[in-house]
Amino acid sequence: MKIFLDTANCDEIKALLPTGMVDGVTTNPSLIAKSGRDIKQTIAEICALVDGPVSAEVTAIELSGMREEAKVLSELGKNVTIKVPMTTDGLILCRELSDKGIMVNVTLCFSAAQALLAAKAGAAFISPFVGRLDDLGADGMNLIADICTIYSNYEFSTEVLVASARHPQHFVDAALLGADVITLPPVTLAQLYKHPLTDKGLAAFLSDWENTGQSIT
């Protein structure tokens, strides 16, 4: 399963690239606003940092405006993935762009029916928001299971990108269900490394080694 970093903070991306865990980056208008930077400069810089897909989202909601913004964003880097909302106009643009060989990430997906439409429109990625469904008392991972099954039934090439992941268990569940990608904020990615028994075991090893009085170097 690929890991996309969910951030528009270039310093965070630079810090995590040496781990080898960053397969791509997803951004959205909220993350761009949080960065306080110009969207075009930010996306271009991220594209230069990362080899994998970089999702850049249109902010217009009408088709004509989406087209104009998608043209600008797609010219910022060869690895830009245009992110469009799960709306009728969004899917029309998805079909237009995918027919031109431009990757599209359909975002704000909350049902299997929406995911099926996105796949038929040629989306490279579908982004179901599991955390937001969990917030409403639903089980967001059930949606991931349904989408994975439907895509397998019809051999769609659209990749299931688990979005709005809130904790490490979302990461594990997504992998168990066969999701293609998960996008994580840096703080959640950092949590994947941690386990109290790992810390306890390491402390014991170091204590025992210190008592030997030896040095490897």
pLDDT digits (tens, 9 = 90+) for 137-183: 999 999 999 999 999 999 999 999 999 999 999 999 999 999 999 99
H-helix segments, 20-83: 29-35, 39-49, 63-74
The answer to whether residue 83 is catalytic is yes
Task: Give the structural domain span for 71.
Answer: 2-192
Nearest-angstrom CA–CA distance, 140 and 31: 22
Query: Is 89 inside any structural domain?
Result: yes
- Whole-model pTM: value is 0.96
Report the domain count for the chain.
Answer: 1
Query: Is 124 inside any structural domain?
Result: yes
Query: Is 206 inside any structural domain?
Result: no
Would you state the pLDDT for residue 94?
98
Mean pLDDT of 59-78: 98
- Given the residues 83, 100, 120, 194, select the one marked as catalytic: 83
Query: Is 122 inside any structural domain?
Result: yes
CATH code: domain of residue 54: 3.20.20.70
Would you state the pLDDT for residue 75?
98
pLDDT per position as a tens digit, 94-149 = 999 999 999 999 999 999 999 999 999 999 999 999 999 999 999 999 999 999 99
Nearest-angstrom CA–CA distance, 100 and 92: 13
